[in-house]
Amino acid sequence: MDTPQYPLLSRTLFPDLPAYPERMIQFGEGNFLRAFTAWQVQQMNKQGRFQGNIVMIKPQGSPVSEHYAKQDHLYTVLINGIADQQVINEHEIIHSVSRLISPYTEYEQFLALAEQDSLEFITSNTTEAGIAYKPEDRLTDAPQQSFPGKLTALLYRRYQLGKAGFTIIPCELIDRNGEKLREIVLRYAAEWDLGDGFIQWLEQENTFCCSLVDRIVPGYPQQQAEQLAQELGYQDHLMVTAEPYLLWVIEGPAWLPERLPLTEAGLYVIFTEDLRPYREQKVHLLNGPHTAMAALGLLAGLTTVEDVMNDEDLSVFVKELMEQEIVPMLDLPRAGLLSYAEAVRERFMNPFIRHELASISLNSIAKFQTRLLPVLLRYQRERGELPKRITLAFAALLVGYRGDRLARKDSPEVLTLFDQAWSQPVEAIPVLLRETKLWGQDLSSVPELARTLEQYVRKLDAFGARATLQWLGGGSLCDD
């Protein structure tokens, strides 16, 4: 909401804010990275440990928000929540971002980043669907459609200039994200016939790190915008809310903590030789429940994660999902997993954070494939039956992607596959399960999965999400 009586946040209002050389390229301008990576860079800068700014790259072709330029790329991060049993309510103007480039309108400016010797790090968060190979991409495109394609073009220009490589730390929530990004870049390098010298430079002069991120970032506080403008004395259309908790696990070489002094700045960052245990716990026990609750909660008429956790039916669903279906499938000590699960539920109930289920539902198919499908398949293999709560969440997702009850936010390719399948409702679920482009494998042979999903979809359509949840917990429906 505009509040004209307050000036717009800009360097005119705060002329003494420092500016630093650009040291990091960030693919992604969304809420998460602005409250995660850019926020951490600012903490290092404040302590004189990094003294570098970020240049953001818009990975998609949608128009660039005018607010970035109007606000001189300044924005406010609100930290709201409970940490160490203390209420945290803080705000900070982030000035660690110098500019935003869209390769779709400023492609040569994007490639010109290769000329800057000061740039040495690349981070990204293009969602789980972002680290993907697109065979139609070519070096001559301006720009390439995929994030790895754009990255390959930038790296090739860097190589041509004879300059040093980068340390590349993707933040997408896919397993071995750094390795997969590296594989696709090398594939483009070979298919585009960029030469053995470039491939050797990629492998020897660049470091691709796997990483894991953890911070709940709901985004713009729409309902409090006018009140916050009054409290802060300025308007900020880029403001973003985040919880106090933050974790970044980076699997990389021994020299990295010195080059990127996050831990020295007091940030909860773990540099490790193996992030797999951290990833399993976080992706399945924090991100998994988020994905499971999104479609079900929206179908039940709820709006936020806090609504879910305060709902009698949905809160029980989340607790039992975590403790009875996810925890038993993870190869970590049960006591520690249950303790982490309890802490996650407390974070979900943060009264200061308005985390919209609609926001969580973005690209839900890729998220389900990463966060919940591995648990479902392992549960079925080991126990000979389907985990009923994950399966119900799967059914709710299929209903949501039918497009007649919920707004869908995913790639055109994914939505086309669903539209084609749901045009023949009787065969829709078997067709969708066979579609390897959606799940990374053919799910049609998973015992009882198609039949169970069809049963759950019928109940969701006939009785609604809440009644179906109650039925799942032992209640009855009139057609039982």
254-284 per-position pLDDT tens digit = 999 999 999 999 999 999 999 988 888 999 9
Helix (H) or strand (E) holding 214: strand 210-214
* 435-447 pLDDT per residue, tens: 999 999 999 999 9
CA distance 170 to 27: 9
Amino acid 477: pLDDT: 62
* 44-89 residue pLDDT tens: 999 999 999 999 999 998 889 999 999 999 999 999 987 777 888 9
Tell me, what amino acid is at 374? P
* Full strand arrangement of the beta sheet holding 269-272: 210-214, 247-251, 269-272
β pairing state of 207-208 and 22-27: unpaired
Q: Which helix (H) or strand (E) holds 422?
A: helix 412-422
pLDDT at 344 over 60: yes
Confidence of residue 479 (pLDDT cuts 50, 70, 90): low
CA 244 – CA 320 distance, rounded (Å): 26
SS3 of residue 141 by DSSP: coil
Question: Comparing 337 with 173, which gets the higher pLDDT?
Answer: 337
User: 325: buried, middle or exposed (CB in 10 Å: 19+, 13-18, 0-12)?
Assistant: buried
DSSP assignment of 218-283 equals -B--GGGHHHHHHHHSSB-TT-EEE-S--EEEEE--TTHHHHS-TTTTT--EEEES--HHHHHHHI
Backbone angles phi, psi at 79, to 5 degrees: -105, 110
**CB-based burial label for 117 (10 Å; 0-12, 13-18, 19+):** exposed
* Structure confidence by residue, pLDDT tens digits, 215-226: 989 889 988 899
Mean pLDDT of 334-360: 89
Amino acid at 364: S
Query: What global pTM score does this model have?
Result: 0.75
For residue 398, give every residue at least 6 positions away whose Cβ sits within 8 Å of its Cβ, in sequence order, or none: 428, 429, 432, 453, 457
User: Per residue in 401-444, pLDDT tens?
Assistant: 999 999 999 999 999 999 999 999 999 999 999 999 999 999 99
- pLDDT reported for residue 476: 63
Stretch 217-244: mean pLDDT: 93
CA-to-CA distance for 269 and 249, rounded, in angstroms? 6
Cβ-contact 131, 182 below 8 angstroms: no
Nearest to 95 by CA among 132, 131, 52, 124: 52
- pLDDT value of residue 463: 96
Q: Where are the beta strands (DSSP E) in 341-419?
A: none
Q: Which segment of 233-242, 312-321, 467-476 scores lowest on mean pLDDT?
A: 467-476
Q: Are 215 and 290 in contact (CB under 8 A)?
A: no
Q: How far is CA 177 from the centre of its chain?
A: 12
| 286 secondary structure, DSSP code | I
What's residue 119's pLDDT?
98
